[in-house]
Every structure is written in C-alpha cells, then in structure tokens.
Structure 1
Amino acid sequence: MERHIRIKECKPLLPRVKQLGQIKTKAQKAPLHGYLEFFAGSGLVAYGVQKYFNAIWANDICEKKAAVYSANHGTKHFHLGSILDVDGSTLPDAPLAWASFPCQDLSLAGLIAGIDGERSGLVWEWLRVMDEMKNTPSILVAENVVGLMSVDGGSQYRMLHEGLRNRGYLVGVVQLDASHWVPHSRPRVFAIAIKESIDIPAALLADGPTWAHSNAVVSAARNLEGWLWWNLPEPKARKKNLEDIVEWAAECHDDKTSARNISLIPKRHRDLVSSDSIAVAPGYKRTRNGSQVLELRFDGIAGCLRTPKGGSSRQYLVIKHSKGLATRLLTVRETARLMGAPESYKLPGSYNDGYQAMGDAVAAPVARYLARHLLSKLAVLA
C-alpha cells in the first residue's frame, strides 16, 4: 500500500532545518596564527600578513621606526630595544618567527663584512633567542638582500644554512622582487625554514629551481643537505606603473636646482625623458668616471629605495611639465605607495624619518604573498 505523509507530521522538522541554516551562515573563521617579528621596523610585514598571521610580539631598536610601527599596529606587543637584550625564555609560543635582519654587511653597496659583521651578524642573536625559547617556532623566515646569496659565491648563506640545519630545520630560499606587485624594483631573498619532523605537502615543493629561484640562489644551494625547492605560483602581471603612484601636485625644485639636476642627466637619457611618451622618470645620482651624473630608468618602475643617508641615496623624479622638465625628490607618501602601504598608513615624524621607515622595510605585498601561498599553509602543520 502506498504510504502518504500528512503535512502536519513534517512541521516539527521545520525549525530544525532553519536552525541548521543559521549555523551554516554564522560559521566563524579560524583564528589567525600568531607570529613573532624581529627587526620589525615600520611594520609593513605585520600589515602584509595580517589576514593570515597576528603579531603577538615584535621588537626593533630604532625609536623612529618604532613610532611608525606603533602608530599603525599599537604598542601592546611591541618591545623597543636591542635584540642583545631579548630573553627567549620570556617570549610567547608561536608557529612562526620572522627576522628581517640588518643587511649592511651583506649589501653590495656596503663594505661586505659578511654575515659575521657587526650589523648583519645580529642574525646569530636571533637564533640564540630561538634556542632559549621553551617551544621553538616550527617555521622561521630570514629576509635580506640578494648579497646574502651572491657574496663570496654563496658562502655567507651557507653559514646561515648550516646554523639552521644544526637546529633541526630544512631550508629553502626564494628570491622575490617587489616589482611583481608594485612599480618598485626591490629584489630580496627569503630563507624559509621548517622543522624537519613536519611532513610538507607535495604541492608546496618543486623538483628543482622555479621562477622564484635566481641564479645566485641556485648556485648557493648546490650540494647543500636539507635544501628545499619551495613551489610558489607565479604572480599575475602588475597593473600599476610609476605614473600611477606619483603625487603630481607635489612641489618641484626651484628652476635653478632643477636646471642643475637636469644638467647631470647623460645626453642619451635626456633625449629619452624629453620624448612625448615619457611623463616621469626616476633616477639616482651616481659617480661615473670621476663625475656626478643623474642616471634615469625608463621601464615604468622606481629604483630600489634606500635609506636617506647621503645625497646619492635619495631617489629623484624628473617630471615633464608644460614649461619643460623639473626635478624633485620622492615624497614620503610616494615611498609608502612603492612599498605597498595603504593611503591610511601613518608616517609620523620628519621627511627623513618617513623615507627611512620605508627605505629600510619589506614591501607589504611580498610578505602578503608569502603568507598566503606558503607560510599559512605550513602553519597549520606546526
């Protein structure tokens, strides 16, 4: 006999169905992973990774950078002072520790004292702090200039690699240029280490070098034990060029100063910047054959930002106006845009303070990219 169900027999189920629907729509997001940041500077890493990681402890020795960090991220978890004074046993547990350790002794523009130099050698203090922690983070990130991999045939990196291996980590290095995301040439290397006891998903590893491994990285990695080829998706083409981030209303140098700067531009570059297709060109003053010149670039991106010490460290813009060419320095807001900081990012202090904060930082979109495609996926395994 065919069975018929009366409508009233189903009514008690309706509230249950509605309740399940409410549960589904009100599902909560998983809590962010905590992370520790050393040499935190102006906080662009914290800004970049904020969708994936929450800074629970950060430190830097520079008061002016600390002012920028605190203005944007608060003071509760920030500790001003030297890493020499940090006691690892007092730090909170976290799956990730990030260190953008000083680059002065590894930069090709410096004296290259090496990874044991007075400034860059502070990376060993970072590892000392890690050793003192009750629960050492499962993931470590050490960021620096390309010289870490290229100086002396990669010997400087190999010392760091050995130090990480001796602590039970597997390590891989990727080289990422901020120009993939912002109109700013800023190649940096990221040594990403993970405890060897953790099973890494196959999708996160490649069989060999990829687009994110430069010749310097490949060369330094040769014959290293415990090396990983991290597998990262290639970024989409950048949408903005330098013209898109320029503050066109910013005041230029007076006519005399502009004329003097323009006179330093090599004729070939002066002809290019005078063409109809160029509205703005960035450049640095350099010494060539004993004479000072203002060298420009014409690929739609700014040169790598530096700290503002010395006139040659400041980046100029040559801007075409209705009356001809004029020059000026980058504005602080332009440096922030080049580093991927939002318009709301606070930059307290003087012009030099803001330039220093941005010129000595990690481009936010690069940190975000690593957090999204690698670090957050490793953190769930920690």
Structure 2
Amino acid sequence: MTPAPLPDLLKQARTRFTQRQIADHVGKDVKTVRRWEKGETPCPAMLEAALRELLRTPAATRVPEAPRFRFVDLFAGIGGIRMGFEAHGGQCVFTSEWNEFSKKTYIENHGADHRFIGDIVSFPAADVPAHDVLLAGFPCQPFSIAGVSKKNALGRPHGFECTTQGTLFFDVARIIAARRPAAFLLENVKNLLSHDRGRTFEVILQTLRDELGYEVHYRVIDGSHFTPQHRERIILVGFREPSAFSWDDLRLPADGPRLGAILHRTDGSEPLLPWDGDRFFDHAARCVQPRYTLTPGLWTYLQQYAEKHRAAGNGFGFGMATADSVTRTLSARYHKDGSEILVHQGNAQRPRRLTPRECARLMGFPDTFRIPVSDTQAYRQFGNSVVMPVMREVARIMLPHLGVATSTAAVKRRSVRTAAALAA
C-alpha cells in the first residue's frame, strides 16, 4: 500500500485530535498547525514520523494539554510579550489594546478566542478574569527621552503629569490590587529610571511594593543579546509571595547576532512566505523592493542634516549599518525617514530602510508572524514593540516562582489523571 502523503496524514489526525494536541505532539504552535491545514504553508516532511506515531496513539489517552499558567495582556500592542510567555505554556485569557491597527495585527496572529477590549481606563478591574500573571508594556512615550524632549518642546506635561498616558500605570496598579495575580511583568524604556530625577520610578516602586505588597525586582536588559539591535528596556517583575527569584538565572548570550542575520538574502535562499509574497522582496530578481531605497532628495537632506549637527558638535545624524553591525534602537518614527537604521548598499547606491519583515526579525518575531497593515503602521508597531526573545527568557526564569502548579511534572500528572478518567 502506498503511504499516505503528509496532507492526508494531517487530515486523518484532525479527525481525532485537536490542533493543540497535534501542535504539542510535533513540537509546534497551534498557529503553525492551522496554517498547514489551510495550505498556507507546507507541513515539513520531517514530521511524517511524528504524525504516524500520533495516529497510532489511542484517542482516549490523548487529552488537551493543560495550560501551565494563565495571563492577561494589557497594552498588548502586537503581542510580543504574550509570545514570550506562550512559549512556556501560558494561556492568554484577556487582552487590552486600544489602537485599531495594532489590534488588527494582534488578532491576525493570535486570534481572538477570549475577551479583547480597547481602552483599559474605563474597564472595571473586577471584570478582568482571574489570572496568574499580569503582563503590561504600559505606554512609554511620557518617560522616553524622545517623548520627554518632544513634550518639553511643546510645553506639555510628561510622566505622571501627562494625563493621557503617564497615569496608565495606575490602571495597571488598580487591576493588580483587585485581582492579586501571583506575579506581574511590566516593561518600559530605560529612561523611566531617571525620569524626573528618579522620582517617577520611586512612585512606581512605592506603589508596587508598599501599597500592593509585592516583592519587586527590576533590571535593564539590552535586546542585543538576542537580536542585532541595541534596545535597552527596563523590566519589572513582581511576586505576591516571597520568592527566590534572581536575575542571575538569565541566560544572555555574550555575543549576539549581527544585522546580516535578519536581512533579506539575495543568494536565492530568501524564503517565499505566502503571506508576504513579493511585498518586501522581489524573489525573481533576488533583491529588496526598490521603494525601500532612499530617494535622492531624502538622502541629500539626511547628509546635510548630519553635517549641520556635526559642525555644531552634536551627535545627531543618521545611523549607517552594514551586515556586521548591531543597529541603533528601532523607533516608532522609523516610517518617517528611516534615519536611525540605514542599510548600506555599496558606495554606488543610496542606502535603504529596513523592510517591515526585517523589522519584525530585528524584534525577534518569527517569519510566521503576519504583517496585515501598511508599511507605515508596521514600522510604528515594531518600533513600539519588545524584543520577543527577551520576554521569553524572562518568562523562563519567572516560571518556577509563580506559586502555581506550573511544573512539567505537575502538568503531566494532571494529564495522566484526566486520561485515566477518560479511559474509565
């Protein structure tokens, strides 16, 4: 008998098992299995043996994998923090994101199988589902160097005096107070430490430690350990109960990747992603689409601008990068001129911007991550996001200290008990 082809094996498996069960068995995520089913990406041939093994497994012994912990995703953006915690078995049960473009990208990649709200400010804390971990990348513009400079120039308040964004931290605090999760992770810009001579950060620590009673640890981590970008962000983690948590448990590669690792490959090996097509890269010509190369006018302007500031003794100017570089920080304004990260294309050519796909890679997002919005919105979204592998690593060292049944052994024990009940 001729062996069944991979698509048929997958169809057979889906008659007996859920996408989650298949994903757990072959070591992939649910979104990948979903894309195999839709024919958007091919199921790798190397997984044939794993699918055949699954089909030989009695259905009664296969039960849905219990989530290791539950979390909520506030100020979620496009879900970078979420992805870091999902990688360790977490289940998102509630999401808040007000920006409609970010919401579109989030739902495209993560689905909307739980409550998804917009503005958290008016949402009752008591209606947030019970959860083990609260995640919040609360808005950083009021505390960032760029954000403070802009608000000063406009004569506007910043930090906690900024009523539209700075006080959003207190919405995080009121939810922590009401729901008392086992732990939280908050992410913001490094400048939060020094804003208003340290007083802003002191208020945050007093709120979390003294008023809410959580054990709080914080550290500035540079994303360049995982991606070719200097991106320093402060991470605050807190635990409801005393813990032995230590930042020393972080595994931060000493020598991170260089820019060439995330650039589109012109040697014919650049993958053709069905959801990208030739939007960013011309696969036939083996080159980045021409629109990402700076126009003559813009390139002349940036050079003159840089020279003007050099003559004045300032450090402002564009950031030229090569395949061996670690870049400057990608910002939400990258769509304007791309000046912080310009890719050198040889002396005979003007430099170019990174494409949105390259920006996704620069933030540690896999190529399976879809970009359903315009280039302008994509640049804003990735510039406001997190280096996902940093979140994944912090989640790893937080997991043993959550005070909930999160160990692999505990999950297996629950699965065995459930399987026994089904068999009976």
Structure 1 or 2: larger strand share? Answer: 1
Q: Could you say if the C-alpha distance between residues 295 and 242 of structure 1 is closer, same or farther in structure 2, counting changes exceeding 3 Å? A: closer
1:300 aligned to 2:325? Answer: yes
Determine the structure 1 residue equivalent to 2:232.
187
1:169 aligned to 2:214? Answer: yes
SS at match of 1:68: helix
**In structure 2, how many angstroms separate the alpha carbons of the residues matched to 1:307 and 1:114?**
19
* TM-superposed deviation, 1:131: 2.7
Unaligned runs of 5+ in 1: 1-21, 206-229, 268-284
SS at match of 1:340: coil
1:48 aligned to 2:84? Answer: yes
Q: Could you say if the C-alpha distance between residues 54 and 28 of structure 1 is closer, same or farther in structure 2, counting changes exceeding 3 Å? A: closer
**In structure 2, how many angstroms separate the alpha carbons of the residues matched to 1:64 and 1:89?**
27
Number of matched residues? 311
* TM-superposed deviation, 1:28: 8.8
From 332, 341, 349, the equivalent of 2:365 is 341
From 235, 243, 246, the equivalent of 1:200 is 243
TM-score, L = length of structure 2: 0.66
From 374, 381, 384, the equivalent of 1:360 is 384
**In structure 2, how many angstroms separate the alpha carbons of the residues matched to 1:361 and 1:261?**
28
**In structure 2, how many angstroms separate the alpha carbons of the residues matched to 1:262 and 1:114?**
31
1:141 aligned to 2:185? Answer: yes
Higher mean displacement: 296-305 or 348-357 = 296-305
* TM-superposed deviation, 1:232: 2.7
Q: Could you say if the C-alpha distance between residues 258 and 86 of structure 1 is closer, same or farther in structure 2, counting changes exceeding 3 Å? A: closer
**In structure 2, how many angstroms separate the alpha carbons of the residues matched to 1:174 and 1:288?**
37
1:97 aligned to 2:155? Answer: no
**In structure 1, how many angstroms separate the alpha carbons of the residues matched to 2:338 and 2:80?**
21
One-letter amino acid of the structure 2 residue matched with residue 44 of structure 1: G
**In structure 2, how many angstroms separate the alpha carbons of the residues matched to 1:123 and 1:40?**
14
Determine the structure 1 residue equivalent to 2:176.
130
Q: 1:363-382 alignment to 2 at 5 Å?
A: 363-373=387-397, 375-381=398-404
Q: Is residue 103–residue 145 contact of structure 1 (8 Å, CA) maintained in 2?
A: yes
**In structure 1, how many angstroms separate the alpha carbons of the residues matched to 2:126 and 2:85?**
25
- Higher Cα Rg: structure 1 or 2? 1
SS at match of 2:318: strand
Q: Is residue 265–residue 296 contact of structure 1 (8 Å, CA) maintained in 2?
A: no
* TM-superposed deviation, 1:258: 7.0
One-letter amino acid of the structure 2 residue matched with residue 33 of structure 1: F
Q: Could you say if the C-alpha distance between residues 320 and 160 of structure 1 is closer, same or farther in structure 2, counting changes exceeding 3 Å? A: same
Structure 1 or 2: larger helix share? Answer: 2
From 345, 352, 362, the equivalent of 1:320 is 345
One-letter amino acid of the structure 1 residue matched with residue 394 of structure 2: L
Q: Is residue 49–residue 371 contact of structure 1 (8 Å, CA) maintained in 2?
A: yes
One-letter amino acid of the structure 1 residue matched with residue 248 of structure 2: N
Determine the structure 2 residue equivalent to 1:35.
71
* TM-superposed deviation, 1:234: 4.0
Unaligned runs of 5+ in 2: 1-56, 152-157, 267-286, 406-424
* TM-superposed deviation, 1:31: 3.0
* TM-superposed deviation, 1:199: 3.7
Q: Is residue 182–residue 403 contact of structure 2 (8 Å, CA) maintained in 1?
A: no
TM-score, L = length of structure 1: 0.73
* TM-superposed deviation, 1:185: 1.1
